[in-house]
Amino acid sequence: MRRRSHRSSLKPEKVKPGKAKDDSRVTIAKTQRTRKTVSITNENLRSFVQSKLDQYKDVDDRFNGIIKILADPGYLQFCYMLIKGKPGNMSKGITNETLDGIKYEWFLEISEEIKTGKIKFKPARRVLIPKPGKIEKRPLWVGAPREKIIQKGLQIILETIYEPKFLDCSYGFRPKRSTHGALKKLHLQAHQFTWVIQGDISKCFDKIPHNIIIKLIQKEIKCDKFLTIIHKTLSAGYIDPITNQPNSPNIGTPQGSVLSPLLANIVLHEMDKYITENIAPKFHLGTRRRGNPEYKKIIYARDPKNPNRTDEGAKIALKLVRKMNRQDPLDPNFRRNMYIRYADDFIFLLEGPLTEAQWIKTEIKEFLYQHTGLELNTEKTIITHLQDGFEFLGAHIKTLKKQDFRMKTKTRTGKIISMRASVRARVDMPTEKIIKKLLELGFLKRNHLNKLLAKPYMKLVNLDHTTILQFFNSKIQGLLNYYTFAGNRVKLFNIIWLLKQSAAKTLARKFKLKSMRHIFTKFGPDLTDPKTDYMLRTPDSLKTIHQYNCETPQYPALQTLEQDWHGRLTTTNIFKICMLCHSPTSIEMHHVRTVKDVRAKMASRTALFAQWIGAVKRKQVPLCQYHYTLYHQGKLLNYELNQISNYTENIKVDI
């Protein structure tokens, strides 16, 4: 084994003279000194917090003193390990400080600040992001990266406390609960209902009052220092991008904060309880519907005990009863309902009259305003008949019209009979919405005959062949991974073919060929890159499988389509080897910070072509995961750093 300087390792925890070391601390420094790999997940960190919480429970079943868990340097290091690889956590706040160069001493210092209550949070950098097809912009708060470590610590503790209390009807931003879980429930049960209330809360994350959040958390947590830190994260505010002045509103959770979705769930949990405990029981009546008098009257013509029965009359009666309900659909003593919420979107399904659905909508609106300070958008909260269909979580759900769908089954005596069966609700992919999104993003266009045609994606033309294919593969795989449940999944063939055409036209522009035919002739049907053998991956079959990945987090397909690579300056790391140990596996590309300056010049159109090429090449330093980690921890030896600085070998940049 190579010897390394002790100065490159994290220092062990220092203990002040006269003070005993706290045994409850997680000794992560030891783990890092012995260079053992530790696999940290949200789940096992919640297990650790759960093991500590019981000792802080008060006589009134509230938690007091849990600030000690948050202030544990080892716990904060685990939180750092969970967020350090997340996209956006290297983005600067209002200062230049990032996660880069963080040392163990920082965890000790921040631990003392948390314990003494001296910790302060900086205002976030506020960025306004355009909304597709709208004039107004969505605000995004970019907080200080190191403060996200503390926010992650708060999130894990609050999640451990509240997760057992959240109801089964809530699916958004919870462990092992995804959009697919909510959609599966609709697929199995939505056919039992007639009306759906599609709830829309006006700017939920932006308008939650801080006093409501603190008041609700105080019901479970008594620790004043812990509550003060939560209040400080909320009141830190942001720097206005127009006036450059600090702004500290008393409403709203910071957009982009890891804590924001959980705080929203805590507030909206009150709505969940109200609906399930007060509204739902009123609309769950009876064990089964009463019989339909008209049905009974007509079916009697087929009864062998009917003295007036005739064969012709029995045939006519059979045709009539197959077109009507056996049970009374307007039975006033039979009601059913179902409620599902995902973050700030919710639906309430009802089997009953429209007037009752309208009353429920009014009740929810009044409760939200009085108890959470939020407003239900009356115009966007609509009541729809399930046969007309509605959209929820990137899917189109509808029930089929009553049809005489029959199936064979066995009775208890073994006799085979034919009986009417209920058809489950269809959960489909919203094809038209996906096409519209591809048109907006520039993958497609319509000609003078309104026919859909693929377009070259010009933002990628200057990237290498494999990177272009990686980009289009990410879009195709995003659609395939999300719509595994879709009843009309076969329609993805058309969308994937259009994306394949767009990829071919992009490559045609890159290599200055005249048409897609020339590209397919040169690179084959999968547009294979001859340098890396990387190809465009398309499915051979798309049969309907109704697969719901309920415990795996799913990213909405439209969100995947919106992800852009226009800021990417790197060439591909496919088939690269580590420049230090020549390992071909787990290759990471070292990013040189000066490339950001070149990107800024490119945006302002002041970059020279030589600067652009230099930026691409300087960024291509392939390191295996082992050496990449050592580099960012400052543990590489001098001769290794010299090798990196002198590295010039790159994949050829196509011009």
Beta bridge partners of 136: none
pLDDT in the model for residue 16: 41
pLDDT in the model for residue 102: 80
Two tokens, residue 526: 């999968």
The enclosing H or E element of 527 equals none
Two tokens, residue 12: 């062990």
Contact 353, 180 (CB under 8 A): no
pLDDT in the model for residue 582: 75
Q: Which residue, chain included where needed, has tokens 């295996």? A: 624
HSE value, Cβ hemisphere, 13 Å, CA-based, for 474: 15
Final residue of a domain: which of 531, 555, 579?
555
Residue partners of 42: CB distance under 8 A and separation at least 6? 82, 156, 159, 175
Q: Are residues 109 and 235 in the same domain?
A: yes
Give residue 208's pLDDT band: very low, low, confident or very high (50, 70, 90): very high
Residues 401, 385: Cα–Cα separation, whole Å: 11
pLDDT at 242 over 90: no
Whether 225 maps to a domain, the answer reads yes
Whether 320 maps to a domain, the answer reads no
Residues 142, 126: Cα–Cα separation, whole Å: 6
Q: Are residues 454 and 589 in the same domain?
A: no
Q: Are residues 424 and 440 in the same domain?
A: no
Q: How many CB atoms lie within 10 A of CB 41?
A: 12
Give residue 243's pLDDT band: very low, low, confident or very high (50, 70, 90): confident
Q: Are residues 57 and 127 in the same domain?
A: yes
Residues 527, 412: Cα–Cα separation, whole Å: 60
Q: Are residues 463 and 409 in the same domain?
A: no
Give residue 234's pLDDT band: very low, low, confident or very high (50, 70, 90): very high
pLDDT in the model for residue 132: 60
Residues 622, 164: Cα–Cα separation, whole Å: 45
Whether 20 maps to a domain, the answer reads no
Q: Are residues 541 and 584 in the same domain?
A: no
Give residue 586's pLDDT band: very low, low, confident or very high (50, 70, 90): low
pLDDT in the model for residue 623: 79
What is the number of residues in the chain?
655
Longest dimension (CA), the chain: 106
Average pLDDT, the chain: 83
* ∠ CA 175-376-336, rounded to 5°: 70
pLDDT at 343 over 70: yes
Characterise 101 by phi-psi region: left (phi > 0), alpha (psi -120 to 50), beta (else).
Answer: left
Contact 42, 59 (CB under 8 A): no
Q: Are residues 544 and 626 in the same domain?
A: no
Average pLDDT estimate for 158-165: 96
Two tokens, residue 344: 């700030």
Q: Are residues 377 and 359 in the same domain?
A: yes
Which comes out higher in pLDDT, residue 603 or 286? 286
Question: How many domains would you assign to the chain?
Answer: 4
Q: SS3 for 588?
A: strand
Whether 352 maps to a domain, the answer reads yes
* Helices 73-83 & 42-53 angle (0-180, nearest 10): 160
Closest CA to 483 of 444, 443, 430: 430
Give residue 4's pLDDT band: very low, low, confident or very high (50, 70, 90): very low
Two tokens, residue 354: 């429209």
Condensed to tens digits (0 to 9), the pLDDT of residues 263-322 reads: 999 999 999 999 999 999 999 999 999 998 888 889 888 888 888 888 899 899 988 888
Residue partners of 637: CB distance under 8 A and separation at least 6? 2, 4
Beta bridge partners of 139: 128
pLDDT at 523 over 60: yes
Average pLDDT estimate for 594-618: 51
* 578 CA to centre of own chain: 33
CA distances from 608 to 601, 605, 648 (A): 9, 9, 20
Closest CA to 158 of 267, 26, 271: 267
CA distances from 313 to 127, 298, 385, 404, 463 (A): 74, 10, 36, 20, 76
CA distances from 164 to 116, 222, 263, 269, 276 (A): 31, 18, 15, 12, 16
Give residue 629's pLDDT band: very low, low, confident or very high (50, 70, 90): confident
Q: Which residue, chain included where needed, has tokens 């036209």? A: 505
Beta bridge partners of 587: 624
Closest CA to 516 of 531, 506, 528, 529: 506
pLDDT in the model for residue 11: 37
Which comes out higher in pLDDT, residue 171 or 406? 171
pLDDT in the model for residue 589: 62
Condensed to tens digits (0 to 9), the pLDDT of residues 5-60 reads: 333 333 334 434 333 344 444 444 443 333 344 467 888 899 999 999 989 999 89
Contact 73, 129 (CB under 8 A): no
Give residue 655's pLDDT band: very low, low, confident or very high (50, 70, 90): very low
Whether 37 maps to a domain, the answer reads no
Give residue 88's pLDDT band: very low, low, confident or very high (50, 70, 90): low
Give residue 560's pLDDT band: very low, low, confident or very high (50, 70, 90): confident
Query: Residue 464 belongs to what domain range?
Result: 431-555
Two tokens, residue 324: 């009507």
Q: Are residues 513 and 485 in the same domain?
A: yes
Average pLDDT estimate for 571-585: 68
Residues 325, 322: Cα–Cα separation, whole Å: 8
Q: Are residues 389 and 482 in the same domain?
A: no
Contact 570, 196 (CB under 8 A): no
Q: How many CB atoms lie within 10 A of CB 7?
A: 8
Dihedral Cα 327, 333, 339, 345, nearest 10 deg: 90
Average pLDDT estimate for 606-612: 52
Q: Range with the lowest mean pLDDT among 138-152, 219-233, 295-309, 378-392?
A: 138-152
Final residue of a domain: which of 400, 428, 456?
428
Give residue 174's pLDDT band: very low, low, confident or very high (50, 70, 90): very high
Residues 356, 147: Cα–Cα separation, whole Å: 48
Whether 2 maps to a domain, the answer reads no
Q: Range with the lowest mean pLDDT among 71-85, 147-161, 375-389?
A: 71-85
Q: Are residues 398 and 348 in the same domain?
A: yes
Residues 471, 182: Cα–Cα separation, whole Å: 29
Give residue 144's pLDDT band: very low, low, confident or very high (50, 70, 90): confident
pLDDT in the model for residue 651: 38
Beta bridge partners of 465: none
pTM to 2 decimal places: 0.80
Q: Are residues 107 and 228 in the same domain?
A: yes
Two tokens, residue 517: 């035919």
Residues 581, 376: Cα–Cα separation, whole Å: 59
pLDDT in the model for residue 571: 55
The single-letter DSSP state of residue 242 is T
pLDDT in the model for residue 220: 95
Whether 7 maps to a domain, the answer reads no
Condensed to tens digits (0 to 9), the pLDDT of residues 409-466 reads: 888 888 888 777 778 899 999 999 999 999 999 999 999 999 999 999 998 998 889 9
Phi/psi for 170 (5° steps) reads -100, 130
pLDDT in the model for residue 554: 79
The percent of residues above 90 in pLDDT, for the chain, comes to: 50
What amino acid occupies position 308?
Answer: N
Phi/psi for 442 (5° steps) reads 95, 15
Contact 651, 572 (CB under 8 A): yes
How deeply is 328 buried, as exposed, middle or buried, from its count of CB atoms within 10 A (0-12, 13-18, 19+)? middle
Whether 36 maps to a domain, the answer reads no
Residue partners of 124: CB distance under 8 A and separation at least 6? 93, 94, 141, 142, 143, 144, 236, 237, 238, 239, 254, 256
Residues 454, 443: Cα–Cα separation, whole Å: 6
Give residue 86's pLDDT band: very low, low, confident or very high (50, 70, 90): low
Q: Where are the alpha helices (DSSP H) in 483-571?
A: 492-510, 516-523, 557-562
pLDDT in the model for residue 575: 55
Q: How many CB atoms lie within 10 A of CB 331?
A: 17
Q: Which residue, chain included where needed, has tokens 């920082």? A: 106
Contact 505, 536 (CB under 8 A): no
